[in-house]
Chains A and B, each alone.
Chain A
Amino acid sequence: MAEPVSTPVIRVSGLVSRFGTQVVHDGLDMEVRPNEIFGIVGGSGTGKSVLLHAILGLREPDGGSIELYGKDVQQLAAADRSALVRSYGVTFQNGALISSLTVAQNIQLPLREYYPVSEQTLDELAELNLALVGLPPDAGPKYPSQLSGGMIKRAALARALSLEPKLLLLDEPTAGLDPISAAAFDELLLYLHSQLRLTVVMITHDLDTLFRTCSRVGVIVDGRMISDTLDGLLQNQTPWIREYFHGPRARAAEKDTHG
């Protein structure tokens, strides 16, 4: 059942992304192994979201290849590609909940699209996904505009989980949350990760989240990625990485976790 350890869930090799003359990724390599939480960090404009979009197939790469579960995404036929897309769950920066649907309907949207199940079962599954992310049952009939920032992030996660993915891709899951909500989200993510045996790829600016949850971290510097464990990165002498992990905020976050 479990993939052999040698097959990475995601392997990006030599990715090139260009916007006009501006080169964002210049031969970027990345590898995500099964059952790990992989953090992606980088300064503003280094193309973290662009990388996520390329992995999701929302953007054609200008060079290089992207393999998911050992299959080259660009070589796949459209139908296989859409089946592959269904096998991972995604949350976007601002939740990207469909604003004309309630939270429960948002969760049911992909289920309704792909599986012919009854309304009662759909309600049960919505209830399940709300329970998974720790939202109260009365959040189901609410519209996204009635939710707080933290609840929107959780609802987006519930929708991402609805098709029972093995891989979760999260774009800044804790951005804009207060520290308590953000910490609660970290714990939720760790809990789901251990209970459901998910592989998680997460873009984040939140150093606390990074230190609390991630087993490995990839830093985008100069269009390439340097991946290592946190301890490894703390020793890294690349100027940007040094500044990132030894700045005043990083030291505080690190002390909280290790000390």
Chain B
Amino acid sequence: MTVLALEGADGDWHLHLNGDWSLAAMAQIEAQLETLPGTLQGTLACDWSRAERPGIGPAWALLVRLSGFTAQPLEIRHVGDPPHFLEFLEKLHAERHAARAGAEPEPSLERSVGKLGRWVVLQGTEARAVIGFFGRIVRVYDGVFSRPHALRPSSLARHIYETGITAIPIVSLIAFLISVIVAYLGAQQLSRFGANIFVVDLVTISVLREMGVLLTAIIVAGRSGSAFAAEIGVMQLNEETDALRAMGMNPIELLVVPRVLALVISLPLLTVIADAMGLAGGGLLSLVNLHIPLPQFLHRLRESLSPTTFWSGLIKAPIFAILIGMVGTYRGMQVRDSSRELGRLTTVAVVQSIFLVILADALFAVLFVQIDF
């Protein structure tokens, strides 16, 4: 259906608007507006008498198109009971047209150089902010331990509960299952050499040295790292941290230190639980699948352990806790202005803390081999 018909010749034009001119017909209208010629001279009468349910949007599109005619002078009139808002739109359009004439787009080269420059500056300030944040935490720690009151025992207890106790079920389950998987797959390989009993060594060493602590840290980074960032981020958005500062309190001392400290306490404890559950999983699979009775499993376990095996895993836990806690709280403190930032920075907190945990784990692995720990 044609919603638009241009008639007439040489300086006396009639534009008939037919049929549905509501917003619902916008696609049709815009397509047919495109078919109008680029130049017109003389007078143009827009006849609205056969336009049904004229909408504001289509009328605006028509006005924009009509103003695009080159080779003026063209005198435009609206006849046939134009919609009541047309005059209003024409006035708006005239204002906008005048405003837009002055605007000039920025050249693309300058824009991309500007973008690069902004990015570099942003990275610089970011790096400085991270160092500043760590510095402030260290300063607060220095003060906190000389004033036991500043340790905020109730807050600390709540965070230990939330990051530690409530994480016990999921940490136990995952440690158990992963060690069952390792033992099962290990047994497949080792049974070919008739070395089933070495499954015990495999499980013990991998769980105690690496998997117990690493899995726990990754789970805690996902649970608590994101929670830290989100909690502190929401407080930032509500200006709660500003309120604390305005009352002379230090948000780092109140919000950051208890969380990081709570993680430093709870992550090693969770690691011990994960180790125990991992060994239990290995023992169960050995019993069921490899028919190694429990006493024999325990005997072999004791033999395969060196004095440092357990500690070489556990010693990493506080370091991981500091990494997770600091990344989570730092990203939370970075939230500004909008809830979009909150979501983005929470994700960043989890991804970065997992990355840093694994990086630190790799460094520990090299270190322990070098010093034969």
Chain A interface residues toward B at CB < 8 A: 1, 99-100, 111, 115-118, 120-121, 124-125, 127-128, 131-132, 136-137, 143-146, 163-164, 195-197
Contacts and interface: CB of A to CB of B under 8 A. Distances in A.
B95 interface: yes
Interface string B92-109: 110110011001000000
Nearest to A192: B88
Contacts of B27: 115-118
Contacts, number: 66
A223 B273 CA distance: 56
A1 B21 CA distance: 14
A124 B30 CA distance: 11
A127 to B, nearest CB: 7
Most chain A CB within 10 A, of B27, B55, B95, B100, is at B27
Contacts of A116: 27
A164 B26 contact: no
B56 A164 contact: yes
Contacts of B57: 111, 125, 128, 164
A196 B56 CA distance: 9
A124 B339 contact: no
B253 to A, nearest CB: 28
B56 A99 contact: no
B338 A144 contact: yes
Interface in B49-96: 53, 55-57, 60-61, 64, 84-85, 88-89, 92-93, 95-96
Contacts of A99: 338-340
B96 A115 contact: no
A197 B84 contact: yes
Interface in B1-52: 22-24, 26-27, 30
Contact of A137 (B84, B93, B99): B99
Contacts of B84: 195, 197
Interface residues on B, range: 20 to 34
Contact of B64 (A124, A132, A136, A197): A124
B337 interface: yes
B30 A118 contact: yes
6 contacts: A111-B23, A145-B340, A145-B341, A195-B85, A196-B85, A197-B85
A121 B30 contact: yes
A132 B92 contact: yes
A1 B60 CA distance: 21
B10 to A, nearest CB: 30
A164 B59 CA distance: 12
